Structure 1
Amino acid sequence: MNRARTFEELRPLLFSIAYRILSSVTEAEDAVQETWLRWEASEARTESPKAYLSTVVTRVALDVLQSARVRREAYTGTWFPEPLLSDPYQDPERSAELADSLSMAALLLMERLSPLERAVFVLREVFAFNFEEIAAAVGRSESACRQLAVRARRHMEEGRPRFDADQRERDKLAERFFNALREGDVDDLRDLLAADVSMVGDSGGKSPQLARGIMGADNVARLFAAYFPMLVRIDVTWQPHELNGQPGAIFCDREGKVLAAMVLDVREGQIQTIRSVTNPDKLAHIGPVADAWAVSREANRAARAARREQEG
């Protein structure tokens, strides 16, 4: 058996397991690398590399999650998962479960589970591992894992939002939304937003915060219509991009450096939640990161100049 080739074939699965447990691209990549190092150093022979490596990556991810939860409790402001551009693991038979578990709403809901509940939920409900495999991965009995699965499933079902399944409709709505942002069209923005829409950002205290949390279609529409045309004036661009399986966009400065990632939750033909990630630590895996403070200062200067032009 060629271990390197086998590992590369399983890498997408291992990353997808680790990301759903950790909600972090960088930590998931580190967990996968640590899994490879442990397997490379091991002399153990296994009939099922998939089962063996899934066990190792789950245990590594659980160890990382313990310390990550402590850091998240001390996090400045609202915490969101690191945005994921695309899931490397594809399984047509599990496509619905894979997509549903990847959304930011689902990942945030998983934060309420205990680490063991989260791992069992991911392995069972998302990837359809049997309980013998799950028990080996988390170091608990099959009976205990069944109980963990029941509790995790109940918690997830109680809080899980339901989003529109028609991807074309979601993408069309997202396109209208980002076009309206560019034009500063308050009325069009308001029409696309649910009455109780919420706009929340994750800056981690390391970038300017557009808003700590704004509720209501009129408030969100007016804020966006006032601010985003100023970004256009200073050559900030944004490109629609699916993030965590949901419609969204990547924002860049005039040099093409990443400023933010924005994700839209769509339900019943309207945008229910807008989440933006501007913490540079959570954007570095996408590309070189912009100086958001400098961009904010330039946008404010552009806004003042625009007001002077109007006054006349």
Structure 2
Amino acid sequence: MSEATEFERLRPLLFSIAYRILGSVTEAEDAVQETWLRFDASDERPASLKSYLAAIVTRVSIDVLRSARVRREEYVGEWLPEPLLDDPYSDPQQAAELADSLTTASLLLLERLSPLERAAFVLHEVFAFDFAAIAETLDRSEAACRQLAARARRHMDDGRTRLEADAREAEALTARFLSAMQDGDVEGMRSMLAADAVMPADGGGKAPVWGRGTWGADRMVEKLAQMAPAFIAAGCALEPQRINGRPGAIFRDRDGRVLSSWGFDVAGGVITAVRIVLNPDKLQHLGPVADAWTLLREAGSASPRDAQAEPPT
């Protein structure tokens, strides 16, 4: 088997590690490409290619994350991970861990960790690497890596406040909510939302958003009843789609271009969060991206107090 073939066989794993560390499809793909360049330029041929390449992509991702954190401090508005439709890596023995770590809620919790904590958690708790391999990857002792992983696990556990619904229940509820939203059914939407539901929207200063996020069922319903029917009347369509392993949708314009991604959190029989990504830089991997400013003007669905009326200069 050639080196390139061996690398391609492990590419899904490498991307999945990098994405969970970085929360970005684009940056994860770049980290995998950098891993190939370093591997191709090296004369070293390790006993375990999987561990060797996983170590490289983790180190590259940590470096990128440290740089990205500076940019995220200056990010305009709410920051959300780039939506991922399909995880290329699967492992039946780690299926639950892989699925849970892919959710937007988990990725946001991971954002609270230091780069080393994040890497230790992802490698050990998600991908089941042993601490000897993690210690070599992070250039720390095994004891230190155990502490990093344990500290990260506590932070992750503390951040999870509700039990999620099973997949069928979540998909059914999300489908009913999307239907009610398209119909402008205010009471129907309100009945499916938790009282303290949230609707953060990530425009990155490059797309119109309704404030810095909407909090509370009543306010969410008001915004959605105002926004969705107007956009649909302008020719937009909601395409049901799994976003980061959970029910969601892609909002497209009349020409099929991507306007936004919508991810839903469901727990206790109600929707607890709707997370909307509008930043065009975070949607390019999904296909051609719509001009949200033009659509906003066509839809006429927001008042000047609630959304930026013109793109930033």
Shorter-chain TM-score: what band?
Answer: over 0.9
Identity of aligned residues (%): 59
Q: 1:76: which partner in 2?
A: 76
Distance 1:197 1:99 in 2: 23
Q: 2:220: which partner in 1?
A: 220
Distance 1:165 1:180 in 2: 20
Corresponding letter in the other structure for 1:176: R
Query: What is the correspondence of 1:42-61 to structure 2 with a 5 Å cutoff?
Result: 42-61=42-61
| Matched residue SS, 1:259 | strand
Q: 2:210: which partner in 1?
A: 210
Q: 2:154: which partner in 1?
A: 154
Corresponding letter in the other structure for 1:39: F
| Matched residue SS, 1:30 | helix
Distance 1:30 1:233 in 2: 39
Corresponding letter in the other structure for 1:174: T
TM-score after normalising by structure 2? 0.94
What are the superposed Cα offsets for residues 115-155 of structure 1, whole Å, 9 maximum, x if unpaired?
Answer: 00000000000011000110111111111101111111111
Q: 2:8: which partner in 1?
A: 8
Corresponding letter in the other structure for 1:47: A
1:242 aligns with 2:237: no
1:181 aligns with 2:181: yes
Q: 2:273: which partner in 1?
A: 273
Distance 2:106 2:178 in 1: 24
Q: 1:29: which partner in 2?
A: 29
1:262 aligns with 2:262: yes
What are the superposed Cα offsets for residues 20-44 of structure 1, whole Å, 9 maximum, x if unpaired?
Answer: 0000000000000111111111111
Q: 2:112: which partner in 1?
A: 112
| Matched residue SS, 2:238 | strand
What are the superposed Cα offsets for residues 271-299 of structure 1, whole Å, 9 maximum, x if unpaired?
Answer: 00111000000001111111000000000
The answer as to whether partners of 2:296 and 2:302 remain within 8 angstroms in 1 is no
TM-score after normalising by structure 1? 0.95
The answer as to whether partners of 1:234 and 1:298 remain within 8 angstroms in 2 is yes
What are the superposed Cα offsets for residues 76-125 of structure 1, whole Å, 9 maximum, x if unpaired?
Answer: 01101111111111111111111111111111111111100000000000
Q: 1:306: which partner in 2?
A: none
Distance 1:58 1:234 in 2: 44
Relative distance call for 1:210 and 1:267 in structure 2 (3 A) is same
The answer as to whether partners of 1:182 and 1:228 remain within 8 angstroms in 2 is yes
Q: 1:309: which partner in 2?
A: none
1:229 aligns with 2:229: yes
The answer as to whether partners of 1:247 and 1:263 remain within 8 angstroms in 2 is yes
Q: 1:135: which partner in 2?
A: 135
Distance 1:269 1:153 in 2: 27
Corresponding letter in the other structure for 2:275: R
Q: 2:309: which partner in 1?
A: none
Corresponding letter in the other structure for 1:144: A
Q: CA deviation at 1:165?
A: 4.3
Question: How well do the aligned residues superpose, as a CA RMSD in angstroms?
Answer: 1.4
The answer as to whether partners of 2:120 and 2:149 remain within 8 angstroms in 1 is yes
Q: 1:197: which partner in 2?
A: 197
The answer as to whether partners of 1:234 and 1:302 remain within 8 angstroms in 2 is no
Distance 1:297 1:129 in 2: 51
Q: CA deviation at 1:212?
A: 2.1
Distance 1:82 1:29 in 2: 12
Corresponding letter in the other structure for 1:124: H
Q: 2:164: which partner in 1?
A: 164
Q: CA deviation at 1:246?
A: 1.1
Q: CA deviation at 1:301?
A: 7.5
Q: CA deviation at 1:14?
A: 0.3
Query: What is the correspondence of 1:98-109 to structure 2 with a 5 Å cutoff?
Result: 98-109=98-109
What are the superposed Cα offsets for residues 247-293 of structure 1, whole Å, 9 maximum, x if unpaired?
Answer: 11000111111100011110011000111000000001111111000
Q: Which runs of 5+ in 2 are unaligned?
A: 304-313
Distance 1:223 1:67 in 2: 35
Give structure 1 regions of 4+ aligned residues with deviation exceeding 4 angstroms: none
Q: CA deviation at 1:222?
A: 2.2
Corresponding letter in the other structure for 1:203: G
Distance 1:72 1:100 in 2: 24
Corresponding letter in the other structure for 2:20: R
The answer as to whether partners of 2:231 and 2:301 remain within 8 angstroms in 1 is no
